Amino acid sequence: MLPAYLPNNFATLTGGGMPIDMRRTWSDGRRILGDGKTIRGFVGGVTAGILIGLLQMYAEISGLVPWFPSHTLTAVILLAVGSLLGDLIKSFFKRRQGIERGGEWFLVDQLDFVIGALLLTLLLDSAWVVQTITLPLLITILILTPLLHRTVNIIGYKLGLKKVPW
């Protein structure tokens, strides 16, 4: 799941500049996505996700790791893009709920990227998802991800990289 996890963290590091919604507002008068979703964050995040996926592919193909090759270029790209698409779509609905940029939406903020990654991959490469993400693995991912996400964000907050600890 690293190609789906890393984009979030790297978006925080590379983000800034022009927001994806170009500062436009929706019909409710609120921002479409908000200042927390930027082009630089999206591109930087997706790039980081793909790079870690390429490293995983290399490690698997060259036998550096004992497990069977599971990453394909398609899956890696879909996981990375899907994770930040999930994050974007989440922010759209967050703004419609009236939650300001950076405000917390419990569990949705913690799972948006895994759900986005798995859904986009399921949509465009269902064979990979069916072969790779077994039911026990899916349950593990859904339980561990919010815990990991929270831990990493508290660390990011303490390091001054993130404005809020969620």
91 sits near ligand CTP (criterion: CB under 6 A): yes
Of the candidates 1, 4, 15, 82, which one interacts with ligand CTP according to CB under 6 A? Answer: 15
Q: Does 125 bind ligand CTP (CB under 6 A)?
A: no
Q: Contact between 31 and ligand CTP (CB under 6 A)?
A: no
Give the residue, chosen from 3, 36, 53, 82, that forms a contact with ligand CTP under the rule CB under 6 A. Answer: 36
CA distances from 161 to 10, 13, 20, 22, 42 (A): 11, 7, 21, 24, 17
Q: Quick check: 86 binds ligand CTP (CB under 6 A)?
A: no
Residue with smaller CB distance to ligand CTP, 49 or 53: 49
- 81 vs 60: CA distance, rounded Å: 22
Those residues with Cβ within 8 angstroms of residue 132's Cβ, 6 or more apart along the chain or in another chain: 70, 75
- Check if the beta carbon of residue 95 is closer than 8 Å to that of residue 34: yes
Sign of CA dihedral 99, 158, 10, 83: negative
CB of 15 or CB of 49, closer to ligand CTP = 15
Applying CB under 6 A, which residues contact ligand CTP? 11-12, 15, 34, 36-38, 41-42, 84, 87, 91, 94, 101-103
